[in-house]
Amino acid sequence: MPLVDFCCNSRRIPPTAETACGSLGPHLSRCVRSFHQSFSEYAPTPLVRLRVLARLWGLGGISVKDESLRFGLDAFKVLGCAWATARCIASRLGISADALTVEAVFSEEVRSRLGNITLVTATDGNHGRALAWTAQKLGLGAVVFMPRGAAPL
């Protein structure tokens, strides 16, 4: 028996330029940012200047976004995970992206309309931690399937 069994999603929609990035315009970008800012822990990502590396490469400056402080998870993936969760729930309830805030989407009223929800993923990386964090913050269940041999947490 193989250790990994791979199967393709026969209903998968092939990616196009439109499906890849066409739907994310200025308005939706503002909605995403507003949603993330509605988390009490949200803070803009600091830029860190890499002076030694810039000097070594003969550049005037290099700056990188430091995501190591993002919600205490050391990764940016929680932003996408939280937004995707909010969009799925909002879509099921007919809530506009304009109205997505932590309070609006994950209120007791919304949870009572949805019933019990459990978020599920299969990963041994930051995405699993992001999904568990999102579920905990929003009062949802979470299951993270990890592959055999994954490094312990």
| Residue 98 bears catalytic tag | no
What are 109's strand-pairing partners?
A: none
Calculate the CA 35 to chain-centre distance.
12
State the catalytic residue, choosing from 65, 66, 77, 137: 77
State how far the Cα of 43 lies from the Cα of 64, in Å rounded to an integer: 16
State the catalytic residue, choosing from 65, 66, 98, 124: 124
Would you report the helix, strand and coil content of the chain in percent, each value rounded to 5?
Answer: 50, 10, 40
Question: β-strand 118-122 against 63-65: which pairing, if any?
Answer: unpaired
Q: Do 81 and 129 contact (CB within 8 A), yes or no?
A: no
State how far the Cα of 24 lies from the Cα of 47, in Å rounded to an integer: 24
State how far the Cα of 105 lies from the Cα of 94, in Å rounded to an integer: 11
| Residue 124 bears catalytic tag | yes
- Give the residue numbers annotated as catalytic, written as ranges: 77, 124
